[in-house]
Amino acid sequence: MKALELQKHIKHPILITDEKMIAYLIHQRFHVSERFIGLLIQKDSIKLYLNNLFPTNLKGLDIIRFDDTDQPIHLLNNDLKSDTLYIDKNMHAGFLIKLMKMNPLIKIEIDELCDRFRSIKDNSEIEKMRQASNINDQAMQIVQSHIKEGMTELELATHIPDIFLSHGAEGISFTPIVAFGKNTSDPHAVPGDTRLEKGMPIIVDMGCIYQGYCSDMTRSFFYHKNSLNDVYGVVRKANLAAIKAVKPGIPLKEIDHAARSVIEKAGYGPYFIHRTGHGIGQDVHEPYDVSATNEHLTEVGMIFSIEPGIYLPDKGGIRIEDLVLVTEDGCEVLNQYTKDLQIL
């Protein structure tokens, strides 16, 4: 149980209330809706505060049960053995305020250890993410084969969940982004009724879930003729430059700089309007982001995206995204689907 590993590193009690982080640490997911759930990790104990409505056979930790008529924050406060408590950044404000009113002397800090702990994948997690990316590669090939003149973005997007399921995935890791023509200039375009015409650029950004772990990949295509030739080449060069920069022990902002400098030198700097990447694991977006301001150092076992893009208003955009695993001597690219320019 990962909670036991985390316990070895704590200096103060940590309270985790985020359902997904709790699931990561104890290997069971609870969907408690608005009810309180908390995992309190102290140097000499691990306690899960869980409503009686949710059964479990978990071993290796104390389970503190309560009903809807009880006050779980009171139970939690009684168990605290320090005047300092670290909490996750997603703790519900209502529960936090109750605790602070109940214990006005308590010092609250935001925990960062959990983020670092979760960002470094073990061998089992890495294998699952390799397979998730392998499924994404296969699915992208099939999605490409479905692209036909006159179809809408939404028609293409609706094929994606079933394609993933047919290849062994549990489902999609996020709502797919499919954009044609000028819509590709919006990094988070929502598939709509725009129909594919000759000369249009195409962006497909999609991912799946395999045994609880996510994939995420973007590829850009052209239909019948290439309308953004120079842009595609610059984005591909930026993607490769960022991948080449990845190694252990460097600030994440250096990887962003590697991609961004390529795009800036080509004169498209103002049109690269987002960060270069994000962490990924059980959630499609996890710490840490690959941005121009993030000084967090890379470590072996981290997995994050490299996804530079150029977005020209009223013309279109190009994005190329891969997932990379930080290794001892650089990185492993988890996606193998071609990044060569493709005119369909």
Measure Cα distances from 242 to 134, 156, 283, 320 in Å: 21, 30, 23, 12
Arithmetic mean of pLDDT over the chain: 96
pLDDT at 268 over 90: yes
Asked if residue 130 and residue 112 are part of one domain, the reply reads no
**Average pLDDT over every residue of 148-171:** 97
pLDDT computed for residue 23 by the predictor = 93
Asked if residue 224 and residue 189 are part of one domain, the reply reads yes
**Average pLDDT over every residue of 241-259:** 98
pLDDT at 158 over 90: yes
Asked if residue 259 and residue 298 are part of one domain, the reply reads yes
Q: What is the CATH number of the domain that holds 108?
A: 3.40.350.10
pLDDT computed for residue 319 by the predictor = 98
Query: Of 125, 343, 121, 129, nearest to 217 (Cα)?
Result: 129
pLDDT at 1 over 90: no
Q: Cα(38)–Cα(48) distance, rounded to whole angstroms?
A: 6
What does the angle CA 296 – CA 302 – CA 305 come to, to the nearest 5 degrees?
90
**Average pLDDT over every residue of 27-36:** 94
**Average pLDDT over every residue of 237-251:** 98
The beta strands (E) that lie in the chain are given as 14-16, 38-42, 45-51, 62-66, 84-87, 107-110, 171-172, 177-180, 201-206, 208-210, 213-214, 217-222, 277-279, 286-290, 303-306, 309-312, 316-319, 322-327, 330-333
pLDDT at 227 over 80: no
Alpha-carbon Rg for the chain in angstroms: 23
Among candidate residues 63, 93, 118, the one where a domain is terminated: 118
Classify residue 175 by its DSSP letter.
P
Q: Cα(163)–Cα(222) distance, rounded to whole angstroms?
A: 22
Query: Of 163, 283, 270, 114, nearest to 214 (Cα)?
Result: 283
Asked if residue 186 and residue 110 are part of one domain, the reply reads no
Looking at the structure of the chain, the number of domains it has is: 2
pLDDT at 336 over 90: yes
Whole domain around residue 6: which residue ranges? Answer: 2-118
Asked if residue 143 and residue 128 are part of one domain, the reply reads yes
pLDDT computed for residue 296 by the predictor = 97
260 in a structural domain: yes
Asked if residue 273 and residue 149 are part of one domain, the reply reads yes
Q: Cα(12)–Cα(98) distance, rounded to whole angstroms?
A: 20
Q: What percent of the chain has pLDDT over 90?
A: 96
pLDDT computed for residue 323 by the predictor = 98
- Under the banding of pLDDT at 50, 70 and 90, the label for residue 17 is very high
Asked if residue 196 and residue 156 are part of one domain, the reply reads yes
Q: What is the CATH number of the domain that holds 196?
A: 3.90.230.10
- Under the banding of pLDDT at 50, 70 and 90, the label for residue 60 is confident
Evaluate the CA torsion angle 283, 309, 241, 176 in order and state its sign. positive
224 in a structural domain: yes
| Tokens linked to 13 | 């009690």
Evaluate the CA torsion angle 55, 57, 60, 62 in order and state its sign. positive
Q: Cα(96)–Cα(80) distance, rounded to whole angstroms?
A: 14
pLDDT computed for residue 226 by the predictor = 80
Among candidate residues 88, 118, 148, the one where a domain is terminated: 118
